[in-house]
Copies of this chain bind each other. A is one copy, B any other.
Amino acid sequence: MIKTPTSSFDFSAEQLAKALAANDIAATSKVFHPLGTAEALEQLERLNTFDRALAYRTLPKDRAMEVFERLDASLQADLVAGLQEADVAEVFAAMSPDDRVALLDELPASVANRLILGLTEKERALTSTVLGYPQGAVGRYMSPEFVITHPGLSAGQTLERVRKQLDDAESVYTILVTDTGRHLVGVVSLRDVLRAEPAERVQDIMKKPISVGATLDAEEAARYCADAKVLVLPIVDAEERLVGILTVDDALRILEDAESEDAARSGGTEPLRRPYLATPVRAIVRARVVWLLVLALGATLTVQVIGAFEATLEAQVVLSLFIPLLIGTGGNTGNQAATTITRALALGDVRPRDVFKVFVREVRVGAMLGLLLGSLGFAIASLAFTVPIGLVIGLTLLGVCTMAASIGGLMPLLGKAVRADPAVFSNPFISTFVDAAGLIIYFLIATSVLGL
């Protein structure tokens, strides 16, 4: 009964790989068929497109449905290409409107249109509501199926409404209270409905609602849902009429994708948007090459800076020994600051208008770090080389750390202010500006201390 995610299923995984390599459907079925939903999912996410379709088709029908619904939309789209049209239509009809829209976004337009036309009128209408919001907006992730009650109704009447929608509504545990104009005026939990006397009126047990607009950025809405610790976040339109709900499990998924994106971007790569082992090598190269080129082109600035000081270097080749260490330390300090501020922005701990506060803090932090590292660098380099060299290294570390921390801290805020992804915006700046500026600091200090 205990399912520890790590211990996993090595045995069946190996057998599965063998069966798939041999294109042996019977053997694949024998290994894959008995797997539970979670295990089947894990295995499917590790296969290539062809093997995945083959393995998926060996699942019994009801399990197949469950597995399909929980797959990433990109992998769902892959599967659709390899399935019978009738099977696809059936799975599609059974999906909830928000999941359906996520899949539609991944499909070729012709396939998407055919699938939409195959829906019942009601499901088509629900899907259109969600489809009507721009990509990235929380409206795209909301469910338009929820339970409504009114302030004047009783707890008993509300419970009856819940019972009637047990099969349809995305969540029945949070009931939304609206007025006659469909404006959200409160929320009441099923727990409170059960606790109340049947005759008690909703207006006496409902709570003040929190809600967000349907065009709000999905990540912000999800973060808000998480911070508010609610199971359901109501979504309203521009006229404050209730249009849908974001459930906490959808919020979790949105946040997970957002975190993957942030992690990728802060490592200087585009997010893969599908599991690593299910991504073709060419797609991984594509996700990385643009960034790598941008950063390398930015780094030609350092070639020019060093070129400008070539005479200094020729006079004192020993100075070249410290180049990687000094610009590395600058880059690390800048990254530390940028990482901290990027995360604080994502969590809402820092706002763009805090730019001055952040700057002052980071100058102080950078100067303190620079003093510590600079003293140490002075001591070591003085012993290993000469005192003047030690002085150059120590002063450079102080200058570089202060500069890098303050620039690194400001970049994500500047990125946010111009509506770019803070992590994307910070990376090239820190890698090029901080490197080049660090070298200039180094050579200026060196020429003046060493009298070159």
Interface set of A (CB-CB < 8 Å, partner B): 1-6, 8, 10, 36, 38, 41-42, 45-46, 70, 162-163, 166-167, 172-173, 183-184, 190-191, 194-195, 208-213, 216, 220, 223-224, 226-229, 231, 236, 240, 248-249, 251-253, 255-256, 259-260, 262-264, 266-269, 272, 275-278, 281-282, 284-285, 288-289, 291-293, 295-296, 299-300, 302-303, 306-307, 310, 313-314, 317-318, 320-325, 327-329, 331-333, 335-336, 338-344, 347-351, 353-354, 357-358, 361, 364-365, 368-369, 372-373, 376-377, 380, 401, 431, 435, 439
- Could you list 9 A-B pairs, sorted by A, with CB under 8 Å? A38-B228, A70-B227, A173-B191, A226-B252, A268-B336, A278-B349, A292-B333, A293-B376, A323-B323
Q: Do B248 and A339 have beta carbons less than 8 Å apart?
A: no
Given A264-B343, A302-B324, decide whether A336 and B1 contact each other with a Cβ distance below 8 A. no
Given A310-B317, A321-B307, A373-B293, decide whether A276 and B3 contact each other with a Cβ distance below 8 A. no
Lowest 10 CB-CB distances: which A-B pairs, in order? A267-B339, A276-B344, A275-B349, A302-B324, A299-B325, A320-B320, A269-B336, A306-B321, A166-B195, A263-B343
Name the B residues within 8 Å of A332 (CB-CB): 268, 291-292, 295-296, 431
Partner of A249, one of B184, B248, B300, B307: B248
Q: With the chains together, A257 CA to B315 CA distance in Å?
A: 52
Q: How far is the CB of A68 from chain B (nearest CB, A)?
A: 13
Name the B residues within 8 Å of A236 (CB-CB): 1-2
Name the B residues within 8 Å of A228 (CB-CB): 38
Q: Do B372 and A289 have beta carbons less than 8 Å apart?
A: yes
The secondary structure that dominates the A interface is helix
Q: Do A264 and B376 have beta carbons less than 8 Å apart?
A: no
Q: With the chains together, A266 CA to B299 CA distance in Å?
A: 22
Q: Do B324 and A327 have beta carbons less than 8 Å apart?
A: yes
Q: How far is the CB of A63 from chain B (nearest CB, A)?
A: 12
Q: Do A2 and B240 have beta carbons less than 8 Å apart?
A: yes
| Chain B residue at minimal CB-CB distance from A217 | B6
Name the B residues within 8 Å of A313 (CB-CB): 317, 320
| Chain B residue at minimal CB-CB distance from A252 | B226
Q: How far is the CB of A51 from chain B (nearest CB, A)?
A: 14
| Chain B residue at minimal CB-CB distance from A46 | B349
Given A338-B267, A369-B292, decide whether A212 and B249 contact each other with a Cβ distance below 8 A. no
Name the B residues within 8 Å of A46 (CB-CB): 349
Name the B residues within 8 Å of A216 (CB-CB): 4-5
Q: With the chains together, A296 CA to B394 CA distance in Å?
A: 13
| Chain B residue at minimal CB-CB distance from A269 | B336
Q: How far is the CB of A317 from chain B (nearest CB, A)?
A: 5
Given A1-B209, A45-B349, A268-B335, decide whether A252 and B259 contact each other with a Cβ distance below 8 A. no
Given A260-B347, A276-B341, A317-B310, decide whether A1 and B240 contact each other with a Cβ distance below 8 A. yes
Q: How far is the CB of A122 from chain B (nearest CB, A)?
A: 21
Partner of A340, one of B272, B289, B314: B272
Partner of A310, one of B255, B321, B357: B321
A5, A46, A223: most-surrounded residue (chain B CB, <10 A): A5
Q: How far is the CB of A79 from chain B (nearest CB, A)?
A: 17
Q: Do B324 and A306 have beta carbons less than 8 Å apart?
A: yes
Name the B residues within 8 Å of A333 (CB-CB): 288, 292
Q: With the chains together, A348 CA to B9 CA distance in Å?
A: 13
Name the B residues within 8 Å of A8 (CB-CB): 351
Q: Do A3 and B210 have beta carbons less than 8 Å apart?
A: yes
Q: How far is the CB of A104 from chain B (nearest CB, A)?
A: 20
Partner of A350, one of B255, B276, B317, B343: B276
Q: How far is the CB of A400 from chain B (nearest CB, A)?
A: 11
Q: Do B166 and A191 have beta carbons less than 8 Å apart?
A: yes
Q: How far is the CB of A349 from chain B (nearest CB, A)?
A: 4
Q: Do A38 and B227 have beta carbons less than 8 Å apart?
A: yes
| Chain B residue at minimal CB-CB distance from A306 | B321
